[in-house]
Structure 1
Amino acid sequence: MRHLIRVAVAACTLVLACSGAAAARVDRTSPDEQRILDLLGQARIVDDIGYHPGYDRDCDPGACVFGEPWTDDHAGPRGHNGCTTREDVLLMQMNDIELRWGSRCRIYEARLRDPYSGERMTWRDDGYDISIDHVYPLARAWHGGAWAWPLRTRITFANDVRRELLAVSARTNQAKEADGPGEWLPPWRRSHCDYVRRYVGVAVAWDLPLTTADADAVRRVAATC
């Protein structure tokens, strides 16, 4: 009988230890990781994003399906303020800004740290090499369902300065192309957590899909945050 009691006590101790280890693993989830996972739980996940004809960003030939690039004529934040969307993003995200004399939109000098590469840039030296990235690429959005939106909704999305647009180096913007997290992550590892959080946040806000590969990549990154 004493042997059976010892076995039962040992088994109980083992169960409690395992439960404690599982609880410890849960407790080690960081606030940043949990925030990303909570967002991911709201996202629409699909096996693959299909193809829908008609995407045109360059407006040649035919109409621009997301409107004229960087138009001020949109219904989102900072629309109709007299500055283009590109100028708005630069003014929001660059530092130590000095405007051109007599202008409230055009920058004479400013500093930027590329959130994708970590490269430090200045407007005077690198202005031509600073691009505005659509975090959730426009082509991907079109194929993921934006083709069915009214044009005004697509224009507002393409000029969403709060969530969708980032000032980055042209080199990293070109490297990203129309990829999602499943195919591309920023070369600067320190930016991975912020990037996937922003990407999923845009997808949730605009009801755009993530692929299963995107979701797997987001989970891997979130575990490091």
Structure 2
Amino acid sequence: MLGIAQRKVEVAKLRDTQVRPMNALTLQWHDAGQNKTQQIYEQQRSKNPGTVRIGRDPLRCDIVLTNPTVSGLHVEIFFNSQQQSFYIRNLRSPNPPLIDGQQLIQGERPLNQGSIIYLGQLQLQVTAVNINTIAATVLTPPQPFTPYQRQQPANQNNSVTSPVHNHPPTPVQGTYGLECPKCHKVSPVEDLQVGCRWCGTSLAAAVSVLVAPGN
């Protein structure tokens, strides 16, 4: 009986050492007139195992956005176990995301608490990143959603300066349109619910493209 009780204690201890907080990232954004928050976990179920995909197409995306300047399948977020960090990967080169003021044409980039993501003209903010390490981890609660502000260089002379008005990064200039999946002609985003004005095909899965001014 003593041996059985000892084994139960050992199993309980093993379970306690294995149960750890999951690595998680919290996104916050404003879409369709509502403030929304979504947590992304390292091993959560998704349409593409290992990543969480974001875009306008509900058939391919885990986080679905309604803004017409967002591509049907725009980006994916995943946890890199070697780097112990969450990364974002661009899936739509004609409509690259803006990460902390820089375009991500291709490849991937790490995300940190406070990172600002622009998908088309829609802004998302990383309000919390919780990484489980061997040492004790302090879980940071989500922070209030605030617009992105560029960091100003420190004043080395410690002199008093006038207030500086910070502005969020300007998204890529141009006009967004919807490329028809059938005839590949570009319709205005206002035609999202109407369909392609050339062939009548539904634009629900259309690719959002950036049309240069004057085209």
Structure that is richer in helix per residue: 1
- Name the structure, 1 or 2, with higher relative contact order (CA <8 Å, separation 6+): 1
TM-score by length of 1: 0.21
TM-score by length of 2: 0.22
Structure that is richer in strand per residue: 2
